[in-house]
Structures are given as structure tokens and as C-alpha cells.
Amino acid sequence: MVDKALTQKIIDRLAASKSPALLAHIRPDGDAFGSLLALGHALRDRGQRPSLFVEGGMIPMYQFLPGSELVLDLPAQLPPETDCLVALDTSTRDRLGQNTHSWPQPIDIVIDHHISNPAYGKLNLIVSEIPSTTGVLFELFQQASWKVSAANATCLYTGLTTDTGSFRYRGTNAHTLHAAAQLVELGADPAEIAKQCYLSITHERFALRKMVSNTISIKDNKKSAFLTILPDFYAKTGAKSEDTEGIIEEVASIQGVEVGSLFEFMPDGGLRVSLRSKGKVDVNSIASSFGGGGHKAAAGIRFAKDAEKNRDLVLAAISQSVVAL
């Protein structure tokens, strides 16, 4: 599953770096923060001095992660002492964030689990059979015989539980659950992490969810359904853009609905699309045909303009994909 020789090259490259910079994707989720902090802990525990960056910095929901204060907003330029640039959980170079687009440094190492990742680093460890980037990192730490502290185990487990929808999605297998069990032995607390990730949503996030749920439209003989977010939903509820994480799972939870989608109309005229499948439809291939990507069961697209027209095109592609089911 994991290429040992390639992993060893990455371990050696990481071990040789004094001041690596670690990056994760825009609109970061549990796996983005989890993998950023997990690799951060592993390197710090070895006496290295990693910098941890993500667009917008830490968000309140993941502040419970040990070391969360280490995560900083993307700087205009990389710290000059940076000697290794690592991209985590980020399916395309673009998704590292606006500031990084003008950085001259190449990406030295990509560690990811997105099947659509084009391998934009010098060394690329992309393992799509593992359902979270923290799961890929755990394999790397084990091969390297690097100590995994309880703090690190908490970060690794958080990425694993959030990216598998609490171990519910199809990518979850015996290997995943075995890794989760090892992380619990190392100090991750499943009930506490579940409380922080799933039982602590803010009133603003709850209000946004209610408003978005009300937009549901069921189509294609009840085999698909979609939700809509309009720009003024945020002002009306007090929620922030990060509060959309997880809303789409609700559509896909309806019996018989094979594809769920969510269309967020942006104030700048753009459109953000999230797609989810229960397994029969490959939504990565739908997303890829519009320039997006992700996984078979969860993918996304971003359009810069023509929001309504593009929404209709994506809905037509979804109809096509479920018509024969």
C-alpha cells in the first residue's frame, strides 16, 4: 500500500531539514490541521524547527488540538531559513492558498491521499487507499521509528475520524480501524475528540445549517439532491465560511439519494461546489471534468464566474450519472 523506498527518501529529506515549512489546503478541515500539527509535533520532538502555515491560520473549532497555537496564517513570503517545503493533504498546488502562488520555491515534498493529486512536488507520497493524510503520516512515522507522543496521536486520530466521517465512509477498512486502535493506545481519546469535532457546534453554525437545509431540492427520481448557500446566509446567521464543513453530509444521508451536492454562491460571482456519493457514482470524475477533483466519494470544484450557468452544468452531469441507476 505504501511505497517503502519512496517513504524512506521522504523520511531522509525531512530528517535532514533544520527549518521545514509545512503547509495544508485552503478552507482547512480536521485532516488539514491534524496532518499539519502531527508532522509539526514529530519534527519538533526530534529537535527540528518546523513552521506551520495555512491560509487564515487556526480556526476556533480545532483549537483543542495540542499545539494549535503553532499554526499561523500564510505569510507573504516564506521565512528565509526555510530549507524544505512540505504540502500536506492538498490535492493541487493551487489549493495551498493565494500567497503561495507567487512563492518562487518549489514544493519539495507532497504527502496526501487524494486520488486526483497530480504529484506536484519533487517527492510525492500519495496513498489513495488510506482515507486521511494523517493515516499516511502515521505509516511514515512508524517506518521512521519516530516516537508518536499522545499530543501527536490526538492530531493523527482527529484527521482519521473527520475524513472518514467517524469511520463510516467506504474507505474505512480493517487497516484504518487498526491504525485508530494504535492511536488510542498511544494516547488519543476517542470520546473527547468526538465531543470536540461533532458535539460542540456553535449556535451560529447550527443556524446556518438550518437555513441551508431549508434550500434542499430533490431531483432525478429522488436519486440526487442539492443544497444552496447564498452570500447573505452568513450575515443572517453570524456564521463563517468554515461553518459549512459537514453540511453536505446531511443530503447524502437521505435514503436512495446516491449523489448529494452543495452549491455556494460567492460574493465575487464565483461558485464553490461540493459533491458526495454513496459509492455507485464516481464524483471525482464529475469534478475532474470541470477542473476540480478529490476522491470517488467526495469531491469539489471551484468556478471563478458564471455561477448559475455552471451550477446547471454540474446538475446536468449529476443527472447523467444517476439516470441508469
Chain residues that interact with Mn ion, rule: CB under 5 A:
31, 89, 133, 163
- Comparing CB distances to Mn ion, the nearer of 78 and 115 is 115
Contact between 158 and ligand 5GP by CB under 6 A: the answer reads no
- How far apart are CB 291 and ligand 5GP at their closest, in Å? 7
Residue 224 interacts with, from Mn ion, ligand 5GP, none (CB under 5-8 Å by kind): none
- Comparing CB distances to ligand 5GP, the nearer of 17 and 274 is 274
Q: Are 91 and 116 in contact (CB under 8 A)?
A: yes
The contact mask relative to ligand 5GP for 90-109 (x = CB under 6 A, - = no) is -xx-----------------
- Which positions ≥6 away from 232 have C-beta within 8 Å? none
Instruction: Quote the CA–CA distance of 111 and 123 in Å, as a whole number.
Output: 9
Residue with the CB atom nearest Mn ion in the bound state: 31
Contact between 300 and ligand 5GP by CB under 6 A: the answer reads yes
Instruction: Quote the CA–CA distance of 22 and 28 in Å, as a whole number.
Output: 13
- How far apart are CB 110 and ligand 5GP at their closest, in Å? 13
Q: Are 124 and 110 in contact (CB under 8 A)?
A: yes
* Half-sphere exposure (Cβ direction) of 157: Cα atoms closer than 13 Å: 28
Contact between 161 and ligand 5GP by CB under 6 A: the answer reads no
Query: Of these, 24, 271, 301, 314, which contacts ligand 5GP (CB under 6 A)?
Result: 301
Contact between 294 and ligand 5GP by CB under 6 A: the answer reads yes
Query: Of these, 205, 223, 302, 311, which contacts ligand 5GP (CB under 6 A)?
Result: 302
Residue 31 interacts with, from ligand 5GP, Mn ion, none (CB under 5-8 Å by kind): Mn ion
Type and span of the H or E element at 134? helix 133-144
- How far apart are CB 263 and ligand 5GP at their closest, in Å? 11
**Strand locations in the chain (E):** 20-24, 51-53, 71-72, 84-88, 109-112, 123-126, 217-219, 224-229, 259-265, 271-277, 293-294, 298-303
The contact mask relative to ligand 5GP for 114-153 (x = CB under 6 A, - = no) is x-x-------------------------------------
- Sheet-wide strand order for 51-53: 71-72, 51-53, 20-24, 84-88, 109-112, 123-126
- How far apart are CB 112 and ligand 5GP at their closest, in Å? 9
- Comparing CB distances to ligand 5GP, the nearer of 192 and 306 is 306
Instruction: Quote the CA–CA distance of 156 and 88 in Å, as a whole number.
Output: 13
Instruction: Quote the CA–CA distance of 290 and 273 in Å, as a whole number.
Output: 10
- Which positions ≥6 away from 180 have C-beta within 8 Å? 157, 160, 161, 167, 188, 190
Question: Residue numbers of the site for ligand 5GP (CB under 6 A)?
Answer: 91-92, 114, 116, 274, 292-295, 298-302
